[in-house]
């Protein structure tokens, strides 16, 4: 089981680095995009699933509720995002800044970077760990046509997210938001 988790972690890190390289190349060599950006800031709720655990104690993988928000700047492909991991004895807040790339008029993919700020019980890590750490956040937003609903899905990769062992914490989030 630990072998599978290690492979998943390696794959997630490789995906994040590939996404970062793709995002950097898109920024350095911009091309005209055919799709319109997915307009809409939103606030939403959802679920998080931790894929990793603390190396020395085996704690940390698990389920959490999330409250998430996105503020999209209309003239730039940049968004401010925040995710709060709730439920349990630990509250973790993860603010990020993302570069958004439109796939169609109602869907964006993005890569964000930020910091994870855990609070509460060190003995019960959230899905993104129990240590303040640098995070990458690849994800996708889908805005439902003729509706104010948005569907979001992302991963948060917290480098050095656990206090004991210092290993990387990885969590997957999904949920529904209300556009404003």
- 80-116 residues labelled b (16+ CB within 10 A) or e (exposed): bbebbbbebebbbbbbbebbbbbeeebbbbbbbebeb
Q: What is the pLDDT of residue 14?
A: 47
Averaged pLDDT, 100-119: 95
* pLDDT of res. 65: 94
One DSSP character per residue, 72-96 reads E-TTSSEEEEEEEEESSSEEEEEEE
**Residue written as tokens 């699933």?**
49
Asked whether the predicted pLDDT for residue 41 surpasses 90, the reply is yes
Do 9 and 168 touch, CB atoms closer than 8 A?
yes
Q: Give per-residue pLDDT as tens, 59-92.
A: 666 789 999 999 999 889 999 999 999 976 778 9
Cβ atoms of residues 65 and 48 within 8 Å = yes
pTM: 0.75
User: Under CATH, which number does the domain 2-179 receive?
Assistant: 2.40.160.20
Q: What angle do CA 120, 154, 75 make, to 5 degrees?
A: 105
């Amino acid at each position: 089981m630990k072998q599978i988790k290690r492979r998943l972690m390696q794959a997630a890190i490789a995906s994040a680095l590939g996404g970062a390289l793709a995002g950097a190349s898109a920024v350095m060599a911009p091309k005209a995009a055919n799709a319109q950006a997915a307009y809409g800031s939103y606030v939403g709720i959802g679920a998080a699933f931790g894929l990793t655990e603390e190396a020395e104690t085996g704690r940390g993988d698990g389920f959490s509720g999330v409250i998430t928000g996105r503020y999209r700047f209309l003239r730039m492909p940049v968004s401010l995002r925040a995710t709060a991991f709730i439920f349990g004895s630990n509250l973790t807040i993860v603010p990020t800044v993302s570069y958004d790339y439109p796939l169609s008029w109602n869907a964006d993919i993005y890569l964000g970077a930020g910091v994870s700020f855990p609070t509460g019980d060190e003995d019960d890590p959230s899905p993104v760990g129990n240590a303040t750490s640098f995070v990458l956040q690849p994800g996708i937003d889908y805005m439902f046509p003729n509706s104010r609903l948005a569907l979001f899905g992302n991963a948060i990769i917290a480098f050095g997210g656990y206090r004991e062992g210092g290993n990387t914490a990885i969590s997957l989030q999904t949920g529904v938001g209300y556009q404003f």
